[in-house]
Chain A
């Protein structure tokens, strides 16, 4: 069966450290993988998209890697700040007849301590 798993429900780190979140999937062939940030009571905010033929993407303090052999994406936040505390969601899109349909992981709650 198809499954998307984010490695931990919660991650606690100290300010200034790098947060690394993991997204693993099985029985999918994603065309795109996206990462979103969600704050309590709010809709997700788009952060980064990486395509199946890309290995890495960066945006300011954020970095995403995508390994289609391992079926895994890693999401890094460098020099983390308390304001980075939120739930982070990975989402897959398989394209084709499922154009635009996103399947989400369950999310990782990141807490950055001062």
Chain B
């Protein structure tokens, strides 16, 4: 199957700093990437949809100024958590989907801990 990577896998930062998470599709071109958040013992919640070359669309309740998404190429999307606070601590997972296909492939996730 297709491979999606995320970097970093784990990050610890101080409150008020910004953190960038990268999502890459390694062996296919992803016209659409998705960002999810998962809290402990909870399911994945979609945060935003990222289309290459255009602005991301955010789900209701997700602050677009806090979670900046850039999808500059067909293999890379980035999520920047700006001015992170402890309540932003979570497991962030991206997925990627090639145009015309139905299957989404997920990255391994990034564990963010804000102190």
Main secondary structure of the interface of B (DSSP, over half): strand
* Residue A55 is within 8 A (CB to CB) of chain B in the complex: no
* Residue B103 is within 8 A (CB to CB) of chain A in the complex: yes
**Which of A101, A105, A106: most chain B Cβ within 10 A?**
A101
Report the minimum CB–CB distance from A78 to chain B (whole Å).
21
Residue pair A101, B46 in contact (C-beta under 8 Å): yes
Seen from chain B, the residues whose Cβ lies within 8 Å of a Cβ on chain A are: 1, 4, 6, 32, 34, 42-46, 49, 91, 93, 95, 97, 102-109, 111
Nearest B residue to A45 via CB reads B106
Query: What CA separation (Å) do A101 and B45 show in the bound complex?
Result: 10
Seen from chain A, the residues whose Cβ lies within 8 Å of a Cβ on chain B are: 32, 34, 36, 41-46, 49, 51, 89, 93, 99-107
The 4 closest A-B pairs by CB, nearest first: A43-B106, A104-B43, A43-B109, A106-B43
A49: chain B residues at CB < 8 Å are 102-103
Query: What CA separation (Å) do A105 and B45 show in the bound complex?
Result: 10
Residue pair B102, A46 in contact (C-beta under 8 Å): no
Q: Which of B97, B102, B109 contacts A41 (CB 8 A)?
A: B109
Query: What CA separation (Å) do A105 and B93 show in the bound complex?
Result: 16
Interchain residue pairs with CB less than 8 A apart (12): A32-B102, A34-B104, A41-B111, A43-B6, A43-B93, A44-B93, A46-B1, A46-B103, A100-B32, A100-B34, A101-B34, A103-B46
B103: chain A residues at CB < 8 Å are 34, 46, 49
Query: What CA separation (Å) do A102 and B93 show in the bound complex?
Result: 13
Residue pair A106, B42 in contact (C-beta under 8 Å): yes
A41: chain B residues at CB < 8 Å are 91, 109, 111
B91: chain A residues at CB < 8 Å are 41
Beyond contacts A46-B104, A104-B43: 19 other A-B pairs, Cβ-Cβ < 8 A, are A34-B103, A41-B111, A43-B4, A43-B6, A43-B107, A43-B108, A43-B109, A44-B106, A45-B106, A46-B106, A49-B103, A89-B43, A89-B44, A99-B32, A100-B34, A101-B49, A103-B46, A104-B44, A106-B42
